Amino acid sequence: MRKLAVVILSLTIYSVGLWAKSATQEAPQTARQALMEMFFSKEPGTFLKHLPTATRATLQNSGALTGLQQYSMLAGAFQTQGKSFQTFETGSVMLATDDPKTGERVEIVVDNDSLQGDQDDIELSFHTYKDNQAKKTPFMPRVVFSMKMESGLWTLNDIAITINLPLADPDFLKTISDGVKARAAAAGAQIHAQGMGQAPGQIPSSNFGSDASTLTAVRQILAAETTYAASYPAVGYTCTLSDLDGFGAAAANEHQAMLISSGLASGKRQGYIFSLSGCTGTPATSFHLTAAPVRDSYGRRAFCGDQSGAIRSSADGGAATCLSQGTPVP
């Protein structure tokens, strides 16, 4: 009887030991946990860890394995950008990020988790919020991660991405319309900023914009000529634009008078070519200034002026026409 009691006690102690051991062991990792570890763990190598063996071998042989280490550090990237994030191993939300600077929140939601044997298809969707209000974003994708058990470890076997385009949705149509208008406005602003300096084949900017900027440049040169002749009476007017340049010398002189910008002194600006001529005599008592549009700048006027300060223009864009029979510009 005593022996039977000892045997029963021993079995009881052994059973309790087995139960305690099994209770302290961690539960097997789920496919969802593996997916989260793959993309959001701070531990290096977790991304590669959950790739199929065949995939890792191919990456190793191609030399691309090292470069993919960065994808296991997405969590660090969130922190670097000043965004706080949380991951959830259970529940409908897998990950949530908050940007305190913009008040925006992004949630990755588990819409379906279909576990069948050694395969688990996890369907995710993305939702954005601004100041706790849901934002309609029709282009947000839906992603299905197909996880497969391989040697006791969940690996990412397939990714399927679906993008929904609600063609009749008013918000979607407004997004399309606003995008087209914004691009058109940006293109128009770019052409306007380029003035007459666009490449061949481009549509020129409006007459008002290009004429106004060109007239300003003409007036600057005419005023500079007057100042130059007064400053260097032995030379008079100059027919060399670089003499009016604004940079390059320690002090102003007759070859670097510092009266106009270097860009304008180059003789080319916003699709126009500026030329000085007619400086006769010593000192020169007269000059001619022309501003003619470059080739392919069709439909632009030419402008001209002289020591009188009067400005004329010709509709055909010809400098010679402007000098001979130009129309006065108010």
> Tens digits of per-residue pLDDT, 68-122?
655 544 544 444 455 577 889 889 998 888 877 778 888 888 989 989 889 999 9
- Looking at domain 27-79+108-126+141-163, does it have CATH number 3.10.450? yes
Residue 134 pLDDT > 50: yes
Residue, of 246 and 284, whose pLDDT is higher: 284
User: HEC states along the chain?
Assistant: CHHHHHHHHHHHHHHHHHHHHHHHCCCCCCHHHHHHHHHHCCCCCHHHHCCCHHHHHHHHHHCCCHHHHHHHHHHHHHHHCCCEEEECCCCCEEEEEEECCCCEEEEEEEEEEEEECCEEEEEEEEEEEECCEEECCCCCEEEEEEEEEECCEEEEEEEEEEECCCCCCHHHHHHHHHHHHHHHHHHHHHHHHHCCCCCCCCCCCCHHHHHHHHHHHHHHHHHHHHHHHHHCCCCECCCCHHHHECCCCCCCECCECCCECHHHHCCEECCEEEEEECCCCCCECCCEEEEEECCCCCCCCEEEEECCCCEEEECCCCHHHHHHHCEECC
| % of the chain beyond a pLDDT of 70 | 71
Going from N- to C-terminal start, the domains of the chain cover: 27-79+108-126+141-163, 207-328
Q: What percent of the chain has pLDDT over 90?
A: 25
Predicted TM-score (pTM) of the model is 0.46
The confidence score (pLDDT) of residue 154 equals 92
Of the pLDDT bands very low, low, confident and very high (cuts 50, 70, 90), residue 9 is very low
Provide the pLDDT for residue 195: 45
For the cut 60, the answer to whether the pLDDT of residue 232 exceeds it is yes
Question: Which segment of 6-10, 33-37, 68-72, 277-281 scores lowest on mean pLDDT?
Answer: 6-10
